[in-house]
Amino acid sequence: MDMRDIAKLAGVSSATVSRVINGSDLVRPGTAERVRRVIDELKFVPNGSATTLKYGKSSSYGLIIPDITNPFFPEFIRSFEGILVAKNQDMLMATTDFHASKMQQTIHRMLVRQVDGVALLASEIETGPIETLIRNRVPLVTMDRRLIGRGLSDVSIHYLSGMTQAVDHLKQLKHHKIGYIGGSAGLTISDHREQAYVKAIERAGLKFDPRYVRVGNYRVSGGETAMVELLEMKDRPTAIIAANDLTAIGALRVIHREGLSVPQDFSIVGFDDIELSDIVFPPLTTIRLPRHELAEAFVSALESSAKDPHAVGKQYTVKSSLVVRSSTGAPRKRK
Amino acid sequence: MDMRDIAKLAGVSSATVSRVINGSDLVRPGTAERVRRVIDELKFVPNGSATTLKYGKSSSYGLIIPDITNPFFPEFIRSFEGILVAKNQDMLMATTDFHASKMQQTIHRMLVRQVDGVALLASEIETGPIETLIRNRVPLVTMDRRLIGRGLSDVSIHYLSGMTQAVDHLKQLKHHKIGYIGGSAGLTISDHREQAYVKAIERAGLKFDPRYVRVGNYRVSGGETAMVELLEMKDRPTAIIAANDLTAIGALRVIHREGLSVPQDFSIVGFDDIELSDIVFPPLTTIRLPRHELAEAFVSALESSAKDPHAVGKQYTVKSSLVVRSSTGAPRKRK
DNA sequence: ACCATAAATGTATTCGTATACAATTGACAA
DNA sequence: TTGTCAATTGTATACGAATACATTTATGGT
């Protein structure tokens, strides 16, 4: 069943049907009504491929993330998808699992599908795939790369605001030895977070000690491994800031496993403020990264680039801020 | 850039280019090589809309879930997407948030996109949307509806296997009063789970007490509310089975908040075995629902229906089984 | 009633790929 | 060399919707 069938039944031409469907105002109300009735009766659904082919736009955006299993992403996706659906756009989601090959494959699929733009929350890996998109004039919005260009926008998180609050909060509680468990080595996003930590420490007038900085992997396991190492130190920190909440939860687990407690023996600060962080015990003090604002920034960046793919994109910034719960407190006095 | 451009540069016709791209074997190897070289050089990507329009198939499947924020779904999606990508299929994901209107909208979008089939993990709401799909001859695979038909398959979970193991396990620990916190009222999936509980209780020769059965909402909050009610009972149960892990975690929180402990004061059994269940404290004994098998069942159901949309679908079954961790133990003796 | 003009509708073509069918080329035998 | 047949390659068209342009119909003024 296609528009011509509808046209025949409504006694009009396919052009009129198309106009009715697209809400053109140059159709007489009576005619439009008649056509609409036929469409409803036959429950006609237009063929999107034909529209995309003709129109050159697919009204869909790609979303590439590294790992849907990290709760941060589903929470982001919910907002992102919600915003798109409200605008009658579709979302093509893909996961890279941090593999460059999957990334390539994914981008290829998005090109085939004629997406109107790509939101890349896994910019980590390489620049190759990014160039592929740019070359094909597909608007791209990255996270935390801090580079813009023609058809290339970026949404960055202002880590420093939240990190400063976290360090100040800990300092006020009389912590002087504040450690940091980072993300996977070699990712720009990890660097940004770590730099914010270093800067916040220095700004607070505390001494930066590289021995207190450990590498993680953005997952629970990385937090565990790093925390084990930190526990083995003689002069160990009394507070830990983690690169994300999962890492913080990993640290928490190790501390509990060792029979120590939070926040009496260690204060822990996470990053992201995933829903989970309010559920674990003790509820996690964490630096909130507002998902909905982030999603909104991505969508508006995508939209404006889609409107004019030739223009230079914008740099968006989303602030982070501390949420104090129960995993931070004054350190236990040691003799 | 289209196939004709490639054809011109390679000195062949567009038909040959198409044949090369689709791996037809009636192209002379030398010619194919020449064409492939041009494609690579120009990094040509074919237009999927045109292919879909011509071919009538989009090589993509729809996935409809209620709530991506429930960790069960991301874990499922990871497998589902992985399997599809390996077969060069795309996934169009959509969330319903348990709203019938969103469901309708979502299904409409999938029809427009010409998906080759839909996996519906949110069959809960109504039958209307389902009929829309059937009418449009889009293969449909539902979860736990236990109805099949032309182009309609179903993947059901054999709850009873895991539930029986759970009840037996608790009985062996000397629990006689085993409560149940269910899912949202009115969903078939909730009924299936609850029926399995009732049957398992009776099979174990225990007394079924309806006062021990409470309604939840598949989220932490539902587990909390229900657990508060259960705690207020005079003759309260000593063990609780929850309809999913989030519910169990909600119960866990309330118990801790009241200064009681698990498994000393209460034994708790979850359902799903989300990754989280191994991370909470204490690690949750739970009934595992194998995500990967589930995803595989969905994909094979989709594929066989897509191959022959006219045939009657199949009923798949996936077993559940108990995973014992630390949230279950012998009940504390009460005087 | 008639013309000018605006409003409404229709006709024909385009988007890029796949493929039925047609045409050409090549291999080999006689 | 020519014919036969298979292997290649090319030509023309269809898929379904959108739209430039053409045509018809309605409206209003005289």
Q: For A144-197, how does the pLDDT look when each residue is reduced to its tens digit (9 = 90+)? A: 989 999 999 999 999 999 999 999 999 999 999 999 999 988 777 888 999 999
Half-sphere exposure of A124 (CA within 13 A, CB side): 24
User: Across chain A, what does the average pLDDT equal?
Assistant: 93
DSSP symbols for B183-216: -STT-HHHHHHHHHHHHHHHHTTPPP-GGGEE--
Which residue of B59, B87, B113 is the best one to mutate when testing the A interface, meaning the one whose CB has the most A CBs within 10 A? B113
Q: pLDDT, tens digit, for every residue of A114-154?
A: 999 999 998 665 677 788 899 999 999 999 989 999 999 99
- pLDDT at A130 (0 to 100): 84
- Tell which residue, B316, B279, B320, has the closest CA to residue B71: B279
Token digits of residue B147: 């109805």
Distance separating alpha carbons of residues A87 and A81, to the nearest angstrom: 10
Contact A83, A77 (CB under 8 A): no
- Give residue B334's pLDDT: 53
Contact between B112 and A43 using a beta-carbon 8 Å cutoff: no
Tell me the angle at which helices B14-21 and B29-42 cross, rounded to the nearest 10 degrees.
Answer: 90
Residue B83 CA distance to nucleotide C16 C1' (Å): 29
* Chain segment B85-117, per-residue pLDDT in tens: 999 999 999 999 888 889 999 999 999 999 999
Query: How far is the CA of A258 from the CAs of A189, A253, A266, B77, B283, in angstroms?
Result: 31, 9, 12, 35, 16
The model's pLDDT over B7-63, given as tens digits with 9 standing for 90+, comes to: 999 999 999 999 999 999 889 999 999 999 999 999 999 999 999 999 999 999 999
Can you give the pLDDT at residue B124?
A: 63
| Helical ranges in B204-314 per DSSP H | 220-232, 245-257, 291-307
Residue among B75, B109, B114 whose CB faces A90 most closely: B109
Residues of chain B with pLDDT under 70: 123-126, 334-335
- The percentage of residues in chain A with a pLDDT greater than 90, rounded to a whole number, is 85
Q: What is the pLDDT of residue A32?
A: 95
Rounded Cα distance, B319 and A38, in Å:
47
Q: Which of A45, A49, A74 has the CB atom closest to B58's CB atom? A: A49
Q: Is the pLDDT of residue A335 over 70?
A: no
Interface touch B45/A112, C-beta < 8 Å: yes
| pLDDT of the residue at B200 | 97
B73 at interface of A, judged by CB pairs closer than 8 A: yes
Each residue of A122-160: b (16+ CB within 10 Å) or e? bbbbeeebbebbbebebbbbbbbbeebeebbbbbbbebb
Q: Pick left, alpha or beta for residue A114 (phi over 0 → left; psi -120 to 50 → alpha; otherwise beta).
A: left
Is residue B180 within 8 Å of B212, Cβ to Cβ? yes
Looking at residue A184, what is its pLDDT? Answer: 87
Q: Is the pLDDT of residue A238 over 70?
A: yes
Distance, in Å, from the CA atom of A200 to the CA atom of A271, rounded to the nearest integer, reads 15
pLDDT of res. A188: 79
Lowest mean pLDDT among A277-281, A318-322, B221-225: A277-281
Listed in sequence order, the residues at least 6 apart from B264 whose beta carbon sits closer than 8 Å to its beta carbon are: B329, B332
Joined together, the tokens standing for residue A176 give 């002087």
- Does A53 sit within 8 Å of B47, measured CB to CB? yes
| pTM > 0.95 | no
CA distance A22 to A60: 17
